[in-house]
Structure 1
């Protein structure tokens, strides 16, 4: 069956040449300070089950991390009030460019961080009423 790998933890990481700007954005967005934090090198946020690491790639590795675009990855945040989240993003200077979308699982809106990474803010809806 192959090797049985025992995973200890998982986290999402973002490479950022403009490290301090990105750390400040997520510090304000999540309303928490990074921990651990090594200025100019690494910052990690833990919020609502998400571990988000931000690092500044060494100069020898910048092309590997910083020239491929934002790709298909999205950071998804489930919120209790979508309008409050939109207001917060707008206050930070990164208002969502589109309208609220309605999906079978709730309402959501797309936004982007200073690196151009897609952020999805999602508000669940009440379960559909059963048929009578």
Structure 2
């Protein structure tokens, strides 16, 4: 049966919180709804939230210090080429090419901490 939950938050741990907050502010075109410098920032979407936090000093040893992806944030977009152009304009062009799959087309991009962002455009009768 599971358990009840009231909200969904995707949380990204980082040691570069200011840089990530600036990146996601530019990417999403919105200011965080909550911002505590060097501690926490939160962006609100329709049915979920994105939280970015700096681990407390006592937990920094648990934080992965490699370039391995810690999360994959998938953003459904209506126009993949426009999304790629926007990422490029804020200094983070996707390194690869658009992939075509049965469910649509997508490309991988990366934030300043090298977390994967999957930009996906679903197949519709219009594209």
TM superposition score normalised by structure 2: 0.90
Task: Identify the residue that residue 130 of structure 1 maps to in structure 2.
Answer: none
Aligned-residue CA RMSD (Å): 1.7
TM-fit CA distance, 1:63: 2.0
Q: Structure 1: how far apart are the matches of 2:36 and 2:3?
A: 29
Q: Structure 2: how far apart are the matches of 1:123 and 1:48?
A: 18
Aligned residues: 125
Q: Structure 2: how far apart are the matches of 1:26 and 1:111?
A: 13
Residue 30 of structure 1 contacts residue 47 of structure 1 at CA under 8 Å; is this kept in 2? no
Task: Identify the residue that residue 81 of structure 2 maps to in structure 1.
Answer: 83
Segment drifting more, 22-31 vs 47-56:
47-56
Task: Identify the residue that residue 57 of structure 1 maps to in structure 2.
Answer: 55
Q: Structure 2 vs 1, CA of residues 72 and 62 (structure 1 numbering), >3 Å: closer, same or farther?
A: closer
Larger Rg: 1
Question: What pairs with 1:16-95 in structure 2 (closer than 5 Å)?
Answer: 16-67=14-65, 69-71=67-69, 73-95=71-93
Task: Identify the residue that residue 112 of structure 2 maps to in structure 1.
Answer: 114
TM-fit CA distance, 1:49: 3.2
Residue 99 of structure 1 contacts residue 109 of structure 1 at CA under 8 Å; is this kept in 2? yes
Unpaired runs of at least 5, structure 2: none
Q: Deviations over 1:6-61 (max 9, x none)?
A: 21212110111111000000001000110111111100011243310000111111
